[in-house]
Amino acid sequence: MISLKQITKYYSTRSGQHCVLDGVDLTIHPGEKLGILGRNGSGKSTMIRILSGAELPTSGRVQRGMSVSWPLAFGGAFQGSLTGLDNLKFICRIYNIDYRDKVEYVEDFTELGKFFREPVKSYSSGMAARLAFAISMAVEFDCFLIDETISVGDVRFHAKCQYELFEKRKDRSFVMVSHEAHNIREHCTNAGVLVGGKLSMFSEIDAAYAYYHESIGN
Amino acid sequence: MNHHPLRDAFAVQRRVIGALLLREVITRYGRHNIGVLWIMLEPMLFTLGVSGLWYIGRIHTLTDIPVIAFAITGYSSVLAWRNTANRCVKAIEPNLALMYHRNVKVIDVFISRTILELAGATASFAVLTVIFASIGIMKWPHDIAPILEGWLLLAWFSFALGFIIGAISERSELIERVWHIITYLLFPLSGALYMVHWLPKGMQEIMLWLPMVHGVEIIRHGFFGEVVPTYENPVYFALVNLILTLIGLALVKECGRRVQPQ
Tell me: the pLDDT tens digits for A129-140?
889 889 988 988
A56, A76, A94: residue with CB nearest B97: A76
Binary contact (B97, A77; C-beta < 8 A): yes
The answer to whether residue A202 neighbours chain B at the CB level (below 8 Å) is: no
- How far is C-alpha B211 from the geometric centre of its chain's CA atoms? 13
* Mean pLDDT computed over B204-211: 92
pLDDT band for B61, please (50, 70, 90 cuts).
Answer: low
Return mean pLDDT, chain B: 89
* Mean pLDDT computed over B175-188: 90
Return the residue of A nearest to B93 by Cα.
Answer: A79
Contact between B135 and B129 (Cβ < 8 Å): no
Determine the residue type at B56.
Answer: I
- Checking DSSP bridges between strand A190-195 and strand A198-202, what pairing results, if any? antiparallel
Return mean pLDDT, chain A: 87
pLDDT band for B143, please (50, 70, 90 cuts).
Answer: very high
* pLDDT (0 to 100) of residue B146: 95
User: Percent of chain B at pLDDT above 90?
Assistant: 56
Contact between A203 and A27 (Cβ < 8 Å): no
pTM of the predicted model, to two decimals?
A: 0.89
DSSP A162: I
pLDDT above 70: residue A212: yes
Tell me: the pLDDT tens digits for A72-106?
876 668 888 889 999 999 999 999 999 999 999 99
Contact between A192 and A199 (Cβ < 8 Å): yes
Tell me: the pLDDT tens digits for B227-246?
888 999 999 999 999 999 99
* pLDDT (0 to 100) of residue A218: 54
- Report the alpha-carbon distance of residue A129 to residue A131 in Å, rounded: 5
DSSP B141: P
H or E element, residue B185: helix B174-189
* Mean pLDDT computed over B121-138: 92
How would you label B209-245 residue by residue, b for 16+ Cβ within 10 Å and e otherwise?
ebbbbbbbbbbbbbbbeeebebbbebeebbebbeebb
pLDDT above 60: residue A214: yes
Chain B partners within 8 Å of A97 (Cβ): none
- From residue B41, alpha-carbon distances to A67, B33, B90, B240 in Å are 43, 13, 24, 31
Global ipTM: 0.84
Return the residue of B nearest to A78 by Cα.
Answer: B97
Highest mean pLDDT among A99-108, A164-173, A180-189, B55-64: A99-108
- From residue B97, alpha-carbon distances to A46, A110, A131 in Å are 15, 20, 14
- Report the alpha-carbon distance of residue B137 to residue B60 in Å, rounded: 13
User: Percent of chain B at pLDDT above 70?
Assistant: 95
* pLDDT (0 to 100) of residue B115: 96
Return the residue of A nearest to B262 by Cα.
Answer: A76
| Radius of gyration for chain A, computed over Cα atoms and rounded to the nearest angstrom | 17
- State the CB neighbour count (10 A cutoff) for residue A207: 15
Residues 6+ apart with CB under 8 A from B129: B72, B138, B141
Mutate to test the interface with A, among B12, B100, B255 (most CBs of A within 10 A): B100
